[in-house]
Chain A
Amino acid sequence: MKIKIPPYLQKGDTIGIVAPAGFMPIEKIQTCIETLDSWGYNILPGATTHSNSQNYFSGTDEERLSDLQQMLDDRSVKAILCARGGYGISRIIDRINFKKFIKHPKWIIGFSDITVLHAHIFTNYKIASLHAPMAAAFNDGEFNNPYILSLKDALEGKPAHYECAPHPFNKLGEAKGELVGGNLSLLAHLIGTDSEIKTRNKILFLEDVGEYLYNVDRLLLQLKRSGKFNKLAALIIGGFTDSKDTERPFGKSVYDIIYEQLAGYKYPICFGFPVSHEKENFALKIGVKYKLSITENGSVLQEI
């Protein structure tokens, strides 16, 4: 199946905003809306961005599903930005109707829990999507940083060219392939389901936040044992921030754990790439072909 790239955005196009997972008050989405507006887009905030939910979610499953469904079906909406992750896509993914979306693909934007959407869409429909900063990343004066601006460039269709400092764990080399990946916990959680990623000949990227060290080890072993690391073109390790340790210490840093688990693979591996739950989070087009070059002077990931 040929990969479909949704149309890039033109000035005046509409971006829909939804909260398909965790709750987020509208005040925290405001800077994001204003910034996207300043980029020349028309903004359509969905019902879940004005939720008065009192619990974890931004609305019931039905409310979150219907908001996302409307945005997927509305042809005037050219991109859907998820305001935040948290947890919630797994609860509605099998009830989303992708029929109109497949006929008229549009950019789905987000990361973390949104990994489920990215993986499901690319595995099943071969439609590219955008792993990129969400609403919170625009706050605290950060709306103009290079990572937010990388989203602007991506939406406009400017081919990405990202640079990353050298890392002692890097495995040097060059590779080309379609990009897949996202949050490690969720990619593992999807194994065995209809949304599971396929990694053969792909450049895989991984990031995670707040996981116990032993659990990072366990998740990597699951990917390894289910064959996800076998035939990669290359691997990109992003941020694994705020790792937690058990009372009986694991005895290794999170990057030590990853390095050790990947010891047997020959393809290029880049550590410390700016894709993470921190500010450092470049927009990455899942499903689009990139070239990764890793040398002693650093790494370059560019769209081809």
Chain B
Amino acid sequence: MAEYFFNLSAGVFCTMDRKHFLAAATTFITGTAIPFKRSFARNSDEELLYRKPPYLKTGDTIGVASPAGFITHEEIQPAIQVMQSWGYKIQLGDTIGKRDFTFGGTDEERRNDLQKMLDDPKIKAIMCARGGYGSLRIVDDLNWTKFKLNPKWVIGFSDITVLHNHIHNNFQVATIHSKMTNSFPDDWNLAEPIQIETIISIQDALSGKKMKYSAVPNSANKRGTSEGVLVGGNLKTIETLSGTASDIKTNEKILFVEDTGEYLYSIDRMFWNLRRTGKLKNLKGLVVGGFKVKPDDPGEEFGKTLQDIVLEKVKDFKFPVCFDFPVGHQKNNFALKCGVKHQLLVTEKEATLTEII
């Protein structure tokens, strides 16, 4: 296992300098376009304006903070060790080990910690320790001035969907949707291959490797090929952002969604919300990740599957739809670069999502 990991890392470092240069070049070009955004750039133009933060180099620092649920120092150790083995320095925020009931500290403590990490130029990426609930309670009180000038990677999923979409919608900066510190295997040597692969995918994304994922073909998939900026996250969280300053913008984009612990009726209602808020009609593609469905109560059988629910909402549209994509509250949850252009290819034999440009 260790060897596999080492080889992969080596491969990554080989490509890194070129990627880093490209990212820097992109930042420079789009940086000049930003002031004009409000006047002319909308919808499909928007994708041109997403900035990729600089990819990480050996010796760079990753900050770890708890903007939502609490985590203990003990729980976070495996993640620290693995990320250090990638050649990064780890800086733990004040919220690590803090607890205010379900939260990783009070709103004030969580806000201050994340703010420090956003503002500190030494920190090149911020990994959220875990999800749970809480980002929504602090997002409007964060000051993004320094982040806008010097974007850095914000990493996480589930509740962190709030930060992803807030950042995309307001600052057009790319982020990484991935597992967090609480999903690193306790013992790397005993971990299953899928755990290793998904954790390595975070390293790949951070170091600038081009990403490519494939999903097991599902007979319900809608075939087609398209290109667009990837956005998405936890479906319930996306619904609660509707109408707010952090609302997801899906025009001309590839949207991915996942959720856990919801009844089918609730999933149905959330997909109606996507449809009725106009978020499906101009999509380039829909990627459906894991949905851990809460079983219907006896006598209250919903009578439709997840596939039925989704296909009904997209039946008027032509874009490709892929089910069983490896993203969600599950082991096969790979790092996705959000705000970055991808190609979605869905055929009878395969379904792939490939980073382009």
Interface residues of A (CB under 8 A from B): 22, 54-57, 87, 90-91, 94, 188-189, 191-196, 214, 217-219, 221-222, 225-227, 246, 248-252
Residues of B within 8 A of A91 (CB): 268, 272
Extra A-B contacts (15), CB below 8 Å, given A192-B247, A248-B101: A55-B302, A55-B303, A56-B296, A87-B269, A90-B268, A90-B272, A189-B239, A189-B273, A192-B242, A193-B273, A219-B240, A221-B136, A221-B137, A227-B243, A249-B102
Residues of A within 8 A of B269 (CB): 87, 90, 189
Of B101, B132, B266, B301, the contact of A249 (CB 8 Å cutoff): B101
Report the minimal beta-carbon distance from B195 to chain A, rounded to whole angstroms.
Answer: 23
Given A55-B302, A56-B302, A214:B277 Cβ within 8 A: no
Closest 10 CB pairs of A and B: A251-B101, A226-B243, A55-B303, A191-B243, A192-B277, A225-B244, A193-B276, A192-B242, A248-B102, A214-B133
Given A55-B302, A250-B101, A217:B133 Cβ within 8 A: yes
In the complex, A16 Cα to B102 Cα: how many Å?
47
- B265 and A193 contact, CB distance less than 8 A: no
In the complex, A119 Cα to B277 Cα: how many Å?
15
Residue of A22, A90, A219, A249 with highest tally of chain B CB at under 10 A:
A90
Residues of A within 8 A of B101 (CB): 248-252
- A248 and B69 contact, CB distance less than 8 A: yes
- B276 and A222 contact, CB distance less than 8 A: no
Q: Does B70 contact A (CB under 8 A)?
A: yes
Q: Does B300 contact A (CB under 8 A)?
A: yes
Residues of B within 8 A of A94 (CB): 276
B273 and chain A: residue at smallest CB distance: A189
Residues of B within 8 A of A90 (CB): 268-269, 272-273, 276
Residues of A within 8 A of B243 (CB): 191-192, 196, 222, 225-227
- B136 and A218 contact, CB distance less than 8 A: yes
In the complex, A248 Cα to B134 Cα: how many Å?
13
Residues of B within 8 A of A192 (CB): 242-243, 247, 273, 276-278
Residues of A within 8 A of B140 (CB): 225
- B273 and A218 contact, CB distance less than 8 A: no
Report the minimal beta-carbon distance from B239 to chain A, rounded to whole angstroms.
Answer: 7
Interface residues of B (CB under 8 A from A): 69-70, 100-102, 132-133, 136-137, 140, 239-247, 265-266, 268-269, 272-273, 276-278, 296, 300-303
In the complex, A171 Cα to B239 Cα: how many Å?
30
Residues of B within 8 A of A191 (CB): 242-243
In the complex, A225 Cα to B140 Cα: how many Å?
9
Report the minimal beta-carbon distance from A72 to chain B, rounded to whole angstroms.
Answer: 20
In the complex, A191 Cα to B246 Cα: how many Å?
13
Residues of B within 8 A of A221 (CB): 136-137, 240
In the complex, A196 Cα to B102 Cα: how many Å?
31
Question: What are 9 A-to-B residue pairs whose CB atoms are below 8 Å?
Answer: A56-B302, A56-B303, A90-B272, A191-B243, A214-B102, A221-B240, A225-B243, A225-B245, A227-B243
Residues of B within 8 A of A195 (CB): 276
Residues of B within 8 A of A214 (CB): 102, 133
- B296 and A226 contact, CB distance less than 8 A: no
Residues of A within 8 A of B133 (CB): 214, 217-218
In the complex, A193 Cα to B281 Cα: how many Å?
13
Of A56, A217, A250, the contact of B300 (CB 8 Å cutoff): A56
Of B102, B245, B247, the contact of A250 (CB 8 Å cutoff): B102
Report the minimal beta-carbon distance from A182 to chain B, rounded to whole angstroms.
Answer: 15
- A251 and B302 contact, CB distance less than 8 A: no
Report the minimal beta-carbon distance from A21 to chain B, rounded to whole angstroms.
Answer: 10
- B240 and A188 contact, CB distance less than 8 A: yes
Report the minimal beta-carbon distance from B257 to chain A, rounded to whole angstroms.
Answer: 16
In the complex, A286 Cα to B244 Cα: how many Å?
25
A225 and chain B: residue at smallest CB distance: B244
- A222 and B244 contact, CB distance less than 8 A: yes
- A55 and B272 contact, CB distance less than 8 A: no
Residues of A within 8 A of B296 (CB): 56
A54 and chain B: residue at smallest CB distance: B301
Residues of B within 8 A of A251 (CB): 100-102
In the complex, A144 Cα to B266 Cα: how many Å?
34
In the complex, A87 Cα to B247 Cα: how many Å?
25
A261 and chain B: residue at smallest CB distance: B137
A186 and chain B: residue at smallest CB distance: B269
Report the minimal beta-carbon distance from B169 to chain A, rounded to whole angstroms.
Answer: 12
- B277 and A218 contact, CB distance less than 8 A: no
In the complex, A87 Cα to B272 Cα: how many Å?
12
A90 and chain B: residue at smallest CB distance: B272
Residues of A within 8 A of B303 (CB): 54-57
In the complex, A195 Cα to B300 Cα: how many Å?
27
Report the minimal beta-carbon distance from B224 to chain A, rounded to whole angstroms.
Answer: 26
- B265 and A87 contact, CB distance less than 8 A: yes
Report the minimal beta-carbon distance from A210 to chain B, rounded to whole angstroms.
Answer: 11
In the complex, A246 Cα to B272 Cα: how many Å?
27
- B242 and A222 contact, CB distance less than 8 A: yes
In the complex, A189 Cα to B268 Cα: how many Å?
12
